[in-house]
Amino acid sequence: MNTDPTSPLNDITQSSDIWAKALFAIPEKELSDITRLAIMVSGASSSAIAVQEGQFYKLLAGSGEKVAASNIPSTAMPTGGAKTIYVPDLGAKTISEDLRKCFPDEIKAFAGTAIEGYAGNIAGYLLVFRSDGQSFADNQMDGLALLSDQISHLLRLYVEAQSKTVTNALHSEEMMKTIFQKAIDAVVVTDKNCAVLLLNPEAEAMLGWKEEEILGKDFCATCLSGICYDDPGTHEHALMGSENAGKLIETTIATKDRSAIDVELSFTSTTVDGHEYHIYHIIDISEQKRARQKLDEQRQFYENILNNIPIDLAIFNPDHVYQYVNATAIKNEDLRKYIIGKDDFEYARYRGRPSDVAELRRAMFLEAKKTGKEMRWEDKMTAPDGKSITHLRRMFPVFDKTGNLLMMIGLGMDITDRKELEDKQTMLLAKLSQQNVQLSDFCNIVSHNLRAPLVNIAMLSEFIENCGDNEERKQLILSLNNVLDNLNSTFNELVESIQIQEDPDVKSEHLQINKYLQRILESLEPEIVRSGATFTIDIDNAPTIHYPATYFNSILHNLISNALKYRSPERKPEIRISSHRKGNKIFLSVADNGLGIDMQKHKNNFFKIGKVFHHHPDAKGFGLYMIKAHIEALGGKIWVESAPDKGATFHIEFTNQNQ
């Protein structure tokens, strides 16, 4: 007999009762075809199928002359799962009256074979009845058994079909089936306990499961790592709450080979014929996600670059409103966020800064917008630590194909170091060219001030050597001494001048002008007394000066001693010294009423080394050259106003006096 213990319908086959019910459900026509065959096979006069119902076996699909009038008591039928039944003589004394009564008088004997469901459960019997008084032959019984197997088979098919009513219900919707099968996205249908009922081809492709492999498995546990229910025990659906209805949920889904795919999942529940089903709609977004991830990485990459390049970067819309600012430009993240959608004026107000920077930038923006050309400028600002920072700013417009301004790109580079280097280089260059001039000057000085007396000394000594006259010899030696004295003082002056020029980095300090004046006048006292010079001093407007002491002393000494030296023989020297302040500059002047200088003639070589304007024994042409070099080394200026026989006024401008 046919048994199938591995049937998927085990739960249904637990009792014969269910099989019996199923037998009832088989259309009678199909069964009566078999009972007719049973008559022919067994030589019986009639046939029927007996199905137990309560205390009795009901007879179905009867065929032939006469079948039992009513139901057959269960007690008369075999128990304990017997597969065959054979009552050769109903008239025998062992046959109970109850049984005898069930049959018409003509029927003398009957036999039957069992109809089975799975696991040996007996659904009923195929019975044949004889009225000719003969008994059933063995081969007749075998034939009967084959027929009852046939019914068993039919019954099982029928039960299986019945158990798939859900499937049938869904499948019956042809349209839905087509959609389901041809859906571009994967669709999985489960029952309310998440057991898989359906898997469309897309879902098979995505998950790697064939439909028949995954049927009945818990979809949530198998593929969704249990995310769809709060508590695996209750199968309460977290995702099925109303707040998630129709919502796309981004999650990962496990395939058969345990790899994870990024998906978008949506689900709905539906009820068909009173059964609840869950329909999962799954979209593979791993490609999208990878693309998005890559995009994110790229964005991160560029933002990293933009935020870490040592260049301030800002993007403006055509109205000069900030669209983007990198972290180099504004380190503070909150400020960086604040400035987006604002302009420089709002930002300056917000930071409590003056608007001059904003005004300059606006002007540059408008110019770049108007001309379509890049603007470049440098701006200086003071950092919180008080250091001065110089930025090279660039602004250049970006236009679209039709010439409309798309945006303005602003770049700023901290060029403080470069600027400092440049300044240093400029200073070095100035010093170098100054030294170069000094070098050629030195050659001149050596020629004129040292070599000339040496020549005289050489010549003198030769004459002394060859001189026979004692008196003349004495005279010549006196001359030689004079030259030597002169040479010595010239040499000392020269050394002093070079030393002072060697050191332009001398420290500036606050000097009381009056103190220096007194000292100089004291040192020049013999000359002042001799010449009867008078002084007017007017330094109340600027009594102090920020300058290196040695330089200031040298400048003042030179100018005053010049004023005394080049006095007019016709009048007593009147010398006026005054100072006044203008902004961060101090102007100092020394005016005399002496010989004066023809400015027309000497305007170009006034301060040249070795230039002398008068036949004065002490005129060596150093002084003015030297002080000019000192003053200019510190960024100041010196100039002169003069007319012959009227006197001269020397003016000096000292810069950076706001310290």
Partner 1 sequence: MSTVKNIFLIDDDKLFTFLLRKTIGLTGIPTSITDFLDGNKALIYLREHSGSPELLPDVIFLDLRMPIMDGWEFLDEYRNIAPILSKPNRLYVFSSSISSYDIERAKTNPNVTDFIIKPILKEKFVEILSA
Which parts of this chain interact with partner 1 (CB under 8 A)?
Answer: 440, 443-444, 446-448, 451-452, 454-456, 458-460, 463, 479, 482-483, 610-616, 619
- What are the helix (H) ranges across 317-415? 333-339, 344-351, 356-371
How many angstroms separate the CA atoms of 200 and 591, rounded? 111
Rounded to the nearest whole angstrom, what is the least distance from the CB of residue 446 to partner 1 in the complex? 8
The residue (of 66 and 448) whose beta carbon lies closer to partner 1 is: 448
Contact between residue 365 and residue 377 where contact means Cβ atoms under 8 Å apart: no
Residue 537: both structure tokens together = 């001093």
Contact between residue 326 and residue 306 where contact means Cβ atoms under 8 Å apart: yes
Rounded to the nearest whole angstrom, what is the least distance from the CB of residue 574 to partner 1 in the complex? 24
Rounded to the nearest whole angstrom, what is the least distance from the CB of residue 492 to partner 1 in the complex? 19
Task: Measure CA of the first residue to CA of the last residue in the chain; give whole Å.
Answer: 120
The residue (of 431 and 448) whose beta carbon lies closer to partner 1 is: 448
The residue (of 269 and 444) whose beta carbon lies closer to partner 1 is: 444
Rounded to the nearest whole angstrom, what is the least distance from the CB of residue 628 to partner 1 in the complex? 18
How many angstroms separate the CA atoms of 159 and 45, rounded? 31
How many angstroms separate the CA atoms of 385 and 237, rounded? 62
- Classified as helix, coil or strand, 223 is helix
Quick one: which of 23, 199, 61, 47 has its CA closest to 113?
Answer: 47
Q: What's at 578, amino acid-wise?
A: S
Phi/psi at 145 (5° precision): -60, -40
Contact between residue 129 and residue 102 where contact means Cβ atoms under 8 Å apart: no
Residue 227: both structure tokens together = 């995310």
How many angstroms separate the CA atoms of 407 and 72, rounded? 100
Rounded to the nearest whole angstrom, what is the least distance from the CB of residue 329 to partner 1 in the complex? 55
Q: What's at 355, amino acid-wise?
A: S
- Classified as helix, coil or strand, 270 is strand
The residue (of 507 and 615) whose beta carbon lies closer to partner 1 is: 615
Contact between residue 49 and residue 59 where contact means Cβ atoms under 8 Å apart: yes
- Whole-angstrom CA distances from 500 to 249, 421, 486, 496 are 84, 25, 21, 6
Any idea of the CA torsion for 160, 162, 168, 169, to the nearest 10 degrees? Answer: -150
The residue (of 198 and 597) whose beta carbon lies closer to partner 1 is: 597
Residue 276: both structure tokens together = 């609840």
How many angstroms separate the CA atoms of 262 and 285, rounded? 5
Rounded to the nearest whole angstrom, what is the least distance from the CB of residue 438 to partner 1 in the complex? 14
Phi-psi region of 22 (alpha: psi -120 to 50; beta: other; left: phi over 0): alpha
Residue 448: both structure tokens together = 């004129």
The residue (of 71 and 456) whose beta carbon lies closer to partner 1 is: 456
Rounded to the nearest whole angstrom, what is the least distance from the CB of residue 482 to partner 1 in the complex? 8
Quick one: which of 271, 194, 273, 270 has its CA closest to 237?
Answer: 194
Rounded to the nearest whole angstrom, what is the least distance from the CB of residue 488 to partner 1 in the complex? 16
Q: What's at 506, amino acid-wise?
A: V
The residue (of 521 and 612) whose beta carbon lies closer to partner 1 is: 612
Residue 231, classified by CB atoms within 10 Å of its CB into exposed (0-12), middle (13-18) or buried (19+), is exposed
**N residues, the chain:** 659
Any idea of the CA torsion for 298, 403, 329, 363, to the nearest 10 degrees? Answer: 180
The residue (of 295 and 458) whose beta carbon lies closer to partner 1 is: 458
How many angstroms separate the CA atoms of 468 and 329, rounded? 91
Cβ–Cβ contacts within 10 Å for residue 230, how many? Answer: 14
**Strand (E) positions, 180-227?**
186-191, 196-199
The residue (of 288 and 481) whose beta carbon lies closer to partner 1 is: 481
The residue (of 294 and 616) whose beta carbon lies closer to partner 1 is: 616
Contact between residue 325 and residue 314 where contact means Cβ atoms under 8 Å apart: yes
Rounded to the nearest whole angstrom, what is the least distance from the CB of residue 615 to partner 1 in the complex? 6
- Whole-angstrom CA distances from 572 to 189, 336, 524 are 125, 74, 16
The residue (of 461 and 584) whose beta carbon lies closer to partner 1 is: 461
Rounded to the nearest whole angstrom, what is the least distance from the CB of residue 630 to partner 1 in the complex? 23
Rounded to the nearest whole angstrom, what is the least distance from the CB of residue 477 to partner 1 in the complex? 13
The residue (of 205 and 454) whose beta carbon lies closer to partner 1 is: 454
Rounded to the nearest whole angstrom, what is the least distance from the CB of residue 598 to partner 1 in the complex? 9
Rounded to the nearest whole angstrom, what is the least distance from the CB of residue 466 to partner 1 in the complex? 9
Rounded to the nearest whole angstrom, what is the least distance from the CB of residue 311 to partner 1 in the complex? 50
Rounded to the nearest whole angstrom, what is the least distance from the CB of residue 429 to partner 1 in the complex? 22
Helix, strand, coil tally for the chain in percent (to 5): 45, 25, 30
The residue (of 168 and 440) whose beta carbon lies closer to partner 1 is: 440
Rounded to the nearest whole angstrom, what is the least distance from the CB of residue 622 to partner 1 in the complex? 13
The residue (of 351 and 603) whose beta carbon lies closer to partner 1 is: 603
The residue (of 336 and 614) whose beta carbon lies closer to partner 1 is: 614
The residue (of 82 and 478) whose beta carbon lies closer to partner 1 is: 478
Quick one: which of 572, 571, 588 has its CA closest to 580?
Answer: 588
